[in-house]
Amino acid sequence: MKEQQLYKQIIDYLNSCGFFVWRASVGRRGKYRHGKPGQGDIIGVTPNGKHIEIECKKPEGKLSAVQIEHKGEVEKRKGLYLVVDSFKEIIDLITFRPDVFLY
């Protein structure tokens, strides 16, 4: 599965479950930057108002130093920064660990 397909599956599913999420990107257009280095591929809000970021990696993928730092900053402020390598991981979290999104 291509990354774009995975993003779309996750975004469509979470939005159907009451989340408000979207695809985020980091880059530069001319002298202007958009996004924040290290941010997740998908950003949004859980149904109870908690900030969430989801980084999609290939199974063998690892977070970069900038992503690890950003993850720490998000979690320090009680936000969620999830790293997943499949749509099934999101389904399993919603099904078997709903507490992850509630507190």
Q: What is the pLDDT of residues 11-40, one digit of tens each?
A: 999 999 999 999 998 888 888 888 888 999
pLDDT: is 31 or 90 the higher one?
A: 90
Report the share of the chain in percent with pLDDT over 90: 67
Q: Is residue 2 pLDDT above 90, yes or no?
A: no
In this structure, are residues 67 and 38 in contact, taking their beta carbons and an 8 Å threshold?
A: yes
Place of tokens 């996004």: 35
Looking at every residue in the chain, the average pLDDT score rounds to 91
pLDDT band at 103 (very low <50, low <70, confident <90, very high): low
Q: Is residue 101 pLDDT above 80, yes or no?
A: no
Pairing relation of β-strands 80-84 and 51-56?
parallel
Please count the structural domains in the chain.
Answer: 1
pTM for the model stands at 0.89
Q: Which domain holds residue 9?
A: 3-102
Sign, CA torsion 38/69/11/57: positive
| HSE toward the beta carbon, residue 15, CA cutoff 13 A | 13
In this structure, are residues 57 and 42 in contact, taking their beta carbons and an 8 Å threshold?
A: no
Sort 70 into a burial class: Cβ within 10 Å, 0-12 / 13-18 / 19+: buried
